[in-house]
Amino acid sequence: MVTIQIVDNIANVQETIATACVKANRNSDDVTLVAVSKQKPVDAILAAMQAGLTHFGENRVGEFTEKIPLVNNQVSRKPTWHMIGHIQSRKAKDVVPLIDYVHSIDRLKIARKLSDLAQATNKTISALVEVNASGEAAKYGFEVSGWQDNEAVKDAFWQDMRAIMELPNLEIRGLMTMAPFYDNMEDTRPIFADVAALRACLQGELDISLPDLSMGMTNDYAVAIEEGATIVRVGRAIFGNR
Protein backbone atom coordinates (compact mmCIF):
# COMPACT_ATOMS: atom_id res chain seq x y z
CA MET A 1 0.00 0.00 0.00
CA VAL A 2 2.64 2.47 1.08
CA THR A 3 4.74 1.55 -1.93
CA ILE A 4 1.92 2.14 -4.39
CA GLN A 5 1.26 5.53 -2.86
CA ILE A 6 4.92 6.52 -3.14
CA VAL A 7 5.09 5.49 -6.79
CA ASP A 8 1.97 7.53 -7.48
CA ASN A 9 3.31 10.52 -5.59
CA ILE A 10 6.58 10.44 -7.51
CA ALA A 11 4.71 10.46 -10.82
CA ASN A 12 2.74 13.51 -9.65
CA VAL A 13 5.85 15.36 -8.54
CA GLN A 14 7.60 14.59 -11.81
CA GLU A 15 4.60 15.92 -13.69
CA THR A 16 4.63 19.13 -11.66
CA ILE A 17 8.34 19.51 -12.41
CA ALA A 18 7.73 18.96 -16.12
CA THR A 19 4.90 21.51 -16.17
CA ALA A 20 7.00 24.12 -14.38
CA CYS A 21 9.84 23.52 -16.84
CA VAL A 22 7.54 24.00 -19.82
CA LYS A 23 6.22 27.21 -18.30
CA ALA A 24 9.76 28.50 -17.75
CA ASN A 25 11.04 27.27 -21.08
CA ARG A 26 13.50 24.95 -19.39
CA ASN A 27 14.55 21.37 -20.01
CA SER A 28 13.31 19.06 -17.24
CA ASP A 29 16.62 17.18 -17.42
CA ASP A 30 18.16 20.28 -15.89
CA VAL A 31 16.22 19.82 -12.65
CA THR A 32 17.31 17.14 -10.17
CA LEU A 33 14.70 15.80 -7.80
CA VAL A 34 16.11 15.07 -4.36
CA ALA A 35 13.64 12.96 -2.39
CA VAL A 36 13.83 14.09 1.23
CA SER A 37 13.56 10.87 3.20
CA LYS A 38 14.16 12.25 6.70
CA GLN A 39 12.08 10.51 9.37
CA LYS A 40 11.04 7.90 6.80
CA PRO A 41 12.04 4.22 6.92
CA VAL A 42 14.50 2.41 4.69
CA ASP A 43 11.62 0.60 2.96
CA ALA A 44 10.18 3.89 1.75
CA ILE A 45 13.56 4.83 0.28
CA LEU A 46 13.85 1.47 -1.46
CA ALA A 47 10.34 1.91 -2.90
CA ALA A 48 11.28 5.32 -4.27
CA MET A 49 14.42 3.84 -5.77
CA GLN A 50 12.38 1.18 -7.48
CA ALA A 51 10.29 3.96 -8.97
CA GLY A 52 13.50 5.36 -10.45
CA LEU A 53 14.71 8.00 -8.00
CA THR A 54 18.46 8.17 -7.41
CA HIS A 55 18.90 11.21 -5.14
CA PHE A 56 17.93 11.26 -1.48
CA GLY A 57 18.17 13.96 1.17
CA GLU A 58 18.60 13.53 4.90
CA ASN A 59 19.00 16.16 7.60
CA ARG A 60 20.12 14.44 10.79
CA VAL A 61 23.48 12.79 11.28
CA GLY A 62 22.24 10.41 13.97
CA GLU A 63 19.50 9.18 11.64
CA PHE A 64 21.36 8.83 8.37
CA THR A 65 24.41 7.08 9.79
CA GLU A 66 22.03 4.19 10.44
CA LYS A 67 19.85 4.42 7.34
CA ILE A 68 22.36 5.06 4.58
CA PRO A 69 24.41 1.88 5.08
CA LEU A 70 21.20 -0.15 5.29
CA VAL A 71 20.05 1.22 1.94
CA ASN A 72 23.46 1.04 0.28
CA ASN A 73 23.81 -2.61 1.25
CA GLN A 74 20.52 -3.58 -0.35
CA VAL A 75 20.93 -2.01 -3.76
CA SER A 76 23.20 -2.74 -6.67
CA ARG A 77 23.73 0.93 -7.34
CA LYS A 78 23.97 3.33 -4.40
CA PRO A 79 21.92 6.48 -4.64
CA THR A 80 23.46 9.93 -4.35
CA TRP A 81 23.09 11.08 -0.75
CA HIS A 82 22.45 14.74 0.04
CA MET A 83 22.86 16.31 3.47
CA ILE A 84 20.36 19.15 3.65
CA GLY A 85 20.38 19.97 7.37
CA HIS A 86 22.57 22.07 9.65
CA ILE A 87 25.78 20.28 10.62
CA GLN A 88 27.22 20.62 14.10
CA SER A 89 31.01 20.84 13.94
CA ARG A 90 31.57 17.81 16.11
CA LYS A 91 29.38 15.71 13.82
CA ALA A 92 31.10 16.70 10.58
CA LYS A 93 33.29 13.60 10.74
CA ASP A 94 30.19 11.41 10.34
CA VAL A 95 28.99 13.34 7.30
CA VAL A 96 32.05 13.01 5.10
CA PRO A 97 32.15 9.21 4.62
CA LEU A 98 28.46 8.81 3.73
CA ILE A 99 27.38 11.99 2.01
CA ASP A 100 28.06 12.95 -1.61
CA TYR A 101 26.49 16.37 -1.66
CA VAL A 102 26.20 18.86 1.22
CA HIS A 103 23.58 21.59 0.78
CA SER A 104 24.12 23.22 4.14
CA ILE A 105 27.43 25.06 4.14
CA ASP A 106 26.00 27.74 6.42
CA ARG A 107 29.16 29.16 7.98
CA LEU A 108 32.84 29.39 7.23
CA LYS A 109 33.78 27.14 10.11
CA ILE A 110 31.84 24.13 8.82
CA ALA A 111 33.22 24.65 5.32
CA ARG A 112 36.75 24.49 6.69
CA LYS A 113 35.99 21.48 8.82
CA LEU A 114 34.41 19.49 5.97
CA SER A 115 37.27 20.45 3.67
CA ASP A 116 39.85 19.22 6.20
CA LEU A 117 38.00 15.95 6.77
CA ALA A 118 37.47 15.35 3.07
CA GLN A 119 41.12 16.04 2.37
CA ALA A 120 42.19 13.59 5.06
CA THR A 121 40.19 10.82 3.39
CA ASN A 122 40.99 11.80 -0.19
CA LYS A 123 37.38 12.48 -0.99
CA THR A 124 35.86 15.42 -2.80
CA ILE A 125 32.43 16.50 -1.67
CA SER A 126 30.03 18.52 -3.79
CA ALA A 127 28.63 21.38 -1.76
CA LEU A 128 26.29 24.34 -1.80
CA VAL A 129 26.50 27.50 0.22
CA GLU A 130 23.27 28.04 2.15
CA VAL A 131 21.96 31.57 2.17
CA ASN A 132 19.28 33.22 4.26
CA ALA A 133 17.68 35.60 1.80
CA SER A 134 14.48 36.28 3.71
CA GLY A 135 15.96 37.79 6.86
CA GLU A 136 14.07 35.28 9.00
CA ALA A 137 15.95 35.01 12.28
CA ALA A 138 15.19 31.31 12.70
CA LYS A 139 16.96 30.32 9.51
CA TYR A 140 20.46 29.01 9.05
CA GLY A 141 22.67 30.26 6.27
CA PHE A 142 24.81 33.21 5.37
CA GLU A 143 22.86 36.40 5.91
CA VAL A 144 22.33 37.91 2.46
CA SER A 145 18.99 39.66 2.71
CA GLY A 146 19.25 43.12 1.18
CA TRP A 147 22.53 42.34 -0.60
CA GLN A 148 21.42 44.20 -3.72
CA ASP A 149 21.25 47.52 -1.86
CA ASN A 150 23.48 46.98 1.14
CA GLU A 151 27.19 47.08 0.33
CA ALA A 152 28.21 45.85 3.77
CA VAL A 153 26.06 42.73 3.48
CA LYS A 154 27.34 42.08 0.00
CA ASP A 155 31.00 42.65 0.89
CA ALA A 156 30.83 40.35 3.89
CA PHE A 157 29.30 37.56 1.83
CA TRP A 158 31.70 38.05 -1.07
CA GLN A 159 34.59 37.72 1.36
CA ASP A 160 33.17 34.51 2.81
CA MET A 161 32.56 33.10 -0.68
CA ARG A 162 36.14 33.85 -1.72
CA ALA A 163 37.42 31.98 1.34
CA ILE A 164 35.10 29.01 0.77
CA MET A 165 35.94 28.72 -2.93
CA GLU A 166 39.60 28.24 -2.04
CA LEU A 167 39.09 25.28 0.25
CA PRO A 168 40.40 21.99 -1.13
CA ASN A 169 38.21 18.90 -1.57
CA LEU A 170 35.00 20.90 -1.46
CA GLU A 171 33.55 21.45 -4.90
CA ILE A 172 31.28 24.43 -4.43
CA ARG A 173 28.55 24.06 -7.01
CA GLY A 174 26.16 26.84 -6.09
CA LEU A 175 23.69 28.17 -3.55
CA MET A 176 20.92 26.67 -1.46
CA THR A 177 18.05 28.49 0.18
CA MET A 178 14.80 27.89 2.01
CA ALA A 179 11.89 30.26 1.59
CA PRO A 180 9.67 31.04 4.57
CA PHE A 181 6.41 29.15 4.75
CA TYR A 182 3.66 31.09 2.98
CA ASP A 183 0.07 30.01 2.36
CA ASN A 184 0.40 31.32 -1.15
CA MET A 185 3.30 29.78 -3.06
CA GLU A 186 3.56 32.92 -5.22
CA ASP A 187 4.89 34.83 -2.20
CA THR A 188 8.10 32.80 -2.38
CA ARG A 189 8.86 33.99 -5.91
CA PRO A 190 10.76 37.20 -5.01
CA ILE A 191 13.03 35.25 -2.66
CA PHE A 192 13.91 32.62 -5.24
CA ALA A 193 14.42 35.31 -7.88
CA ASP A 194 16.70 37.19 -5.49
CA VAL A 195 18.87 34.12 -4.87
CA ALA A 196 19.05 33.42 -8.61
CA ALA A 197 20.23 37.02 -9.11
CA LEU A 198 22.76 36.57 -6.31
CA ARG A 199 24.20 33.53 -8.02
CA ALA A 200 24.47 35.38 -11.34
CA CYS A 201 26.18 38.32 -9.66
CA LEU A 202 28.66 36.07 -7.82
CA GLN A 203 29.51 34.22 -11.01
CA GLY A 204 30.21 37.46 -12.83
CA GLU A 205 32.06 39.37 -10.13
CA LEU A 206 34.11 36.51 -8.70
CA ASP A 207 34.58 34.83 -12.07
CA ILE A 208 33.43 31.47 -10.75
CA SER A 209 31.05 28.82 -11.99
CA LEU A 210 28.01 28.04 -9.83
CA PRO A 211 25.90 25.63 -11.86
CA ASP A 212 23.44 24.66 -9.12
CA LEU A 213 20.64 26.37 -7.26
CA SER A 214 18.99 24.18 -4.63
CA MET A 215 15.63 25.72 -3.85
CA GLY A 216 12.06 24.55 -3.57
CA MET A 217 10.33 22.08 -1.23
CA THR A 218 6.87 20.48 -1.25
CA ASN A 219 5.16 23.83 -0.76
CA ASP A 220 6.98 25.84 -3.37
CA TYR A 221 9.08 23.77 -5.79
CA ALA A 222 7.06 24.72 -8.86
CA VAL A 223 7.80 28.41 -8.34
CA ALA A 224 11.43 27.66 -7.47
CA ILE A 225 11.85 25.87 -10.81
CA GLU A 226 10.30 28.78 -12.65
CA GLU A 227 12.90 30.99 -10.98
CA GLY A 228 15.82 28.76 -11.93
CA ALA A 229 16.19 25.94 -9.37
CA THR A 230 18.35 23.08 -10.66
CA ILE A 231 17.77 20.96 -7.54
CA VAL A 232 14.48 20.67 -5.67
CA ARG A 233 14.25 19.00 -2.25
CA VAL A 234 10.87 17.35 -1.92
CA GLY A 235 9.81 15.30 1.09
CA ARG A 236 6.11 15.26 1.96
CA ALA A 237 4.83 15.28 -1.61
CA ILE A 238 6.66 11.97 -2.12
CA PHE A 239 6.63 10.20 1.24
CA GLY A 240 3.58 11.75 2.87
CA ASN A 241 3.41 13.85 6.03
CA ARG A 242 5.97 13.36 8.75
Ligand X SMILES: *Cc1c(COP(=O)(O)O)cnc(C)c1O
Please pick, from the candidates 111, 175, 217, 229, the single residue that binds ligand X as defined by CB under 6 A: 217
Give counts: helices (H), strands (E), the chain: 9, 9
Query: What's the half-sphere exposure (Cβ side, CA atoms, 13 Å) at 151?
Result: 0
Least distance CB 202 / ligand X (angstroms): 21
Measured CA to CA, the distance from residue 51 to residue 8 in angstroms comes to 9
Which of helix, strand or coil describes residue 166? coil
DSSP symbol at 116: H
- CA atoms of 20 and 18, how far apart (whole Å): 5
Hey, what amino acid is at 150? N
**Residue from the set 9, 37, 59, 177 that interacts with ligand X by CB under 6 A:** 59
Counting contacts by CB under 6 A, is residue 127 touching ligand X? no
Min dist CB 219 to ligand X, Å, is 6
Is residue 9 within 8 A of residue 36, CB to CB? The reply is no
Spatial distance between the Cα atoms of 132 and 200, rounded to a whole number of angstroms: 17
- Minimum CB distance to ligand X smaller for 68 or for 154: 68
| CA gap 179, 11 in Å, rounded | 24
Distance CA 49, CA 54 (A): 6
Compute the residue count for the chain.
242
For the segment 173-202, give every residue that binds ligand X (CB under 6 A): 178
Whether residue 16 contacts residue 222, with contact meaning beta carbons closer than 8 Å, is answered with: yes
Residue number, 125 or 232, with CB nearest to ligand X: 232
Q: Using CA atoms, how far apart are residues 48 and 54, in angstroms rounded to an integer?
A: 8
CB of 64 to ligand X, least distance (A): 13
- Closest separation between CB of residue 167 and ligand X, Å? 22
Of residues 81-120, those binding ligand X (CB under 6 A): 84-85
Q: Which is nearer to ligand X, 132 or 219 (CB)?
A: 219
Under rule CB under 6 A, residue 38 binds ligand X: yes
Q: Tell me the closest approach of the beta carbon of residue 204 to ligand X, in angstroms.
A: 27
Q: Which stretch binds ligand X (CB under 6 A): 89-97, 110-118, 163-171, 213-221?
A: 213-221
- Cβ closer to ligand X: 38 or 93? 38
Nearer Cβ to ligand X (79/85) = 85
Q: How far is the CB of 150 from ligand X (least distance, A)?
A: 25
Of 85 and 169, nearer to ligand X (C-beta) is 85
The stretch among 70-78, 150-158, 167-175, 215-223 that binds ligand X (CB under 6 A) is 215-223
Longest CA pairwise span in the chain (Å): 54
Enumerate binding residues for ligand X (CB under 6 A). Answer: 36, 38, 59, 84-85, 178, 217-219, 233-236
